[in-house]
Amino acid sequence: MASAGGADAASNAASDEEAAKGGGGGAAEPPGPYHRQPMYNWQATKSSLQERFTFLFNNELLSDVRFVVGKDRTAQRIPAHRFVLAAGSAVFDAMFNGGMATTSAEIELPDVEPAAFLALLRFLYSDEVQIGPETVMTTLYTAKKYAVPALEAHCVEFLTKHLRADNAFMLLTQARLFDEPQLATLCLETIDKSTLDAISAEGFTDIDIDTLCAVLERDTLSIRESRLFGAVVRWAEAECQRQQLVVTVDNKQKVLGKAVSLIRFPLMTIEEFAAGPAQSGILSDREVVNLFLHFTVNPKPRVEYIDRPRCCLRGKECSINRFQQVESRWGYSGTSDRIRFTVNRRISIVGFGLYGSIHGPTDYQVNIQIIEYEKNQTLGQNDTGFSCDGTANTFRVMFKEAIEILPNICYTACATLKGPDSHYGTKGLKKVQHETPTACKTCFFFFSSPGNNNGTSVEDGQIPEIIFYS
């Protein structure tokens, strides 16, 4: 009989447990805030304290407070236990036990998302972390609101693991909003490393003016200033629309405000400045003239813009030429010209100098690349073109952004040209040294690349010039 009685008790406990689990979902409302169905020995089915408290999560059983979380039709009534909440949060402790403690059995939280509040309670009851891409920001807000730093740390860790260039600006905005300096720093570092990808993402145009200025002030962005200016103009157009302003030059100037002064126009080439900022209307006529003079005359007039290079683009632009003589003729049939090289110190390559036509002024289409040789990994490339004047000079072809080159690593410089026969270099050097006024020596070592390289080698061919910052 004892055995049968024990079985009945266990059966009753199991059925009672199932009946008690209905809180918070679509179950019918109980008659009163503290109503609960009779439970018998449910505790015996839980082998640990954590299991017992987890069982009470979102459960009417023993609950002594309810929260109405969210607004209007999305609001949910969620049961809870004051003791558990006060033990896990100083805010809840003050709410229930402080000098101005509430005596209400039902507390409205219209500014909190139900899913985020349930994630908070789940953590307080069981230490279980349940967050995802859709709920992490609202959960972070809720964890900060109720002073639960351990859950806050889990949210920041989740965001850090999912941080990419295409969401870095969105997360940076949130990190600044929620005062999360660690996450903000990681976002900025990601933007520094992949600036072009970051500013090309949709989240860039959604940032506020203070975040925009904080980014533009950085010395560590890895992007050419002309592309950064284009992105800033795109942001200004989006900001005009947010403020319900007509997208005009005057309104773009208005919404940009001090951000314009953070664009480093002196770092652009004269061609980049002429093609973009000079025609944008963002600058006054006087500013345009002064900057053109800055590019073309000496002594240079003073301009109100920073001329300090960003990222690893420090110092002055440098270039080396690996040939001692120029000849003609060099033909193209779709095969890439390639040459391998190493350097003795860290630099950033921004472009090549290429030979042009022997038949007078003409245009070329070209794809340029830098490839890490051992990994066969393309570090940067650009599909572009250039115009030449028929002379034996070299003509600049630039990458979209600076490419970091590390010492003693082998790289391949590659150029695939479409156009008429060109000049080419001869009497090539295996070692070319560039020395700056500060006595810093940058040594390039050249090696022929295996395979069909359209004839380019250490001794002869294309890609005579490498343009870089050291």
Q: What is the pLDDT of residues 356-383, one digit of tens each?
A: 999 999 999 999 999 999 999 998 888 8
Q: What is the pLDDT of residues 223-271, one digit of tens each?
A: 889 999 999 999 999 999 999 999 999 999 999 999 999 999 988 888 8
Mean pLDDT within 194-221 = 93
Question: For residue 275, what are its two tokens?
Answer: 């093609």
**What does the DSSP assignment read for 306-342?**
--PPPTT--S--EEEE--SEEEEEE--SSPPEEEEEE
Q: Which of 3-7, 39-43, 109-113, 204-208 has the lowest mean pLDDT?
A: 3-7
pLDDT of residue 262: 96
Report residue 124's pLDDT band, with 50, 70 and 90 as the boundaries: very high
Mean pLDDT within 423-438 = 90
Mean pLDDT within 139-164 = 95
Given a contact cutoff of 8 angstroms between Cβ atoms, the answer to whether 468 and 370 are in contact is: no
Residue 135 has pLDDT above 60, yes or no: yes
- List, as own/partner pairs, every contact residues 207-211 make where C-beta atoms lie below 8 angstroms and the sequence separation is at least 24, other chains included: 207/169, 207/172, 207/173, 207/235, 208/173, 209/239, 209/255, 209/256, 209/257, 209/259, 210/176, 211/169, 211/172, 211/173, 211/176
pLDDT of residue 37: 54
pLDDT of residue 321: 96
**What does the DSSP assignment read for 348-374?**
EEEEEEEE-BSSSSEEEEEEEEEEETT
pLDDT of residue 315: 60
Q: How far apart are CA 213 and CA 220, in angstroms?
A: 14
How many other CB atoms sit within 10 Å of the CB of residue 76? 17
Bridge-partner residues for 369, per DSSP? 381, 414
Q: What is the pLDDT of residues 433-442, one digit of tens each?
A: 998 766 578 9
Question: For residue 370, what are its two tokens?
Answer: 């830098």
Q: How far apart are CA 418 and CA 412, in angstroms?
A: 20
Given a contact cutoff of 8 angstroms between Cβ atoms, the answer to whether 192 and 218 are in contact is: yes
pLDDT of residue 33: 44
Say which residue, 313 or 26, is predicted with more confidence: 313
Percent of the chain with pLDDT strictly greater than 70:
90
Residue 26 has pLDDT above 50, yes or no: no
Q: What is the pLDDT of residues 296-343, one digit of tens each?
A: 886 677 888 988 777 655 567 889 999 999 999 999 999 999 999 999
Alpha helix (H) ranges present in 194-296?
195-200, 209-216, 225-242, 249-256, 270-275, 277-280, 285-296
Instruction: Specify the DSSP class assigned to residue 425.
Output: E
Report residue 120's pLDDT band, with 50, 70 and 90 as the boundaries: very high
Q: How far apart are CA 355 and CA 204, in angstroms?
A: 38
Residue 7 has pLDDT above 50, yes or no: no
Residue 24 has pLDDT above 90, yes or no: no
Percent of the chain with pLDDT strictly greater than 90:
68
Residue 9 has pLDDT above 60, yes or no: no
Residue 288 has pLDDT above 90, yes or no: yes
Numbers of helices and strands, H then E, in the chain = 16, 15
Question: For residue 428, what are its two tokens?
Answer: 């090539």
Mean pLDDT of the chain: 88
Report residue 40's pLDDT band, with 50, 70 and 90 as the boundaries: confident
Mean pLDDT within 137-141 = 93
- Three-class SS of residue 229? helix
Q: How far apart are CA 17 and CA 219, in angstroms?
A: 61
List phi, psi (to 5°) of 261. Answer: -70, -15
Residue (of 448, 265, 421) closest to 339 by Cα position: 448
Say which residue, 13 or 392, is predicted with more confidence: 392
pLDDT of residue 412: 97
List phi, psi (to 5°) of 354. Answer: -120, 150
Mean pLDDT within 280-306 = 87
Bridge-partner residues for 254, per DSSP? none
pLDDT of residue 15: 44
Q: Which of 41-50, 161-170, 404-413 has the lowest mean pLDDT?
A: 41-50
**What does the DSSP assignment read for 54-119?**
HHHTT--TT--EEEEESSGGG-EEEEE-HHHHHHH-HHHHHHHHSTT----SEEEETTS-HHHHHH
Instruction: Specify the DSSP class assigned to residue 143.
Output: H
Bridge-partner residues for 398, per DSSP? 351
pLDDT of residue 223: 86
pLDDT of residue 13: 42
Which amino acid, 137?
M
pLDDT of residue 289: 93
Instruction: Specify the DSSP class assigned to residue 461.
Output: B
Q: What is the CA radius of gyration of the chain?
A: 33
pLDDT of residue 313: 57
pLDDT of residue 36: 52
Place of tokens 């472009």: 351
Report residue 21's pLDDT band, with 50, 70 and 90 as the boundaries: very low
Question: For residue 51, what are its two tokens?
Answer: 């299991």
Q: How far apart are CA 409 and CA 415, in angstroms?
A: 20
Residue (of 261, 221, 275) closest to 402 by Cα position: 221
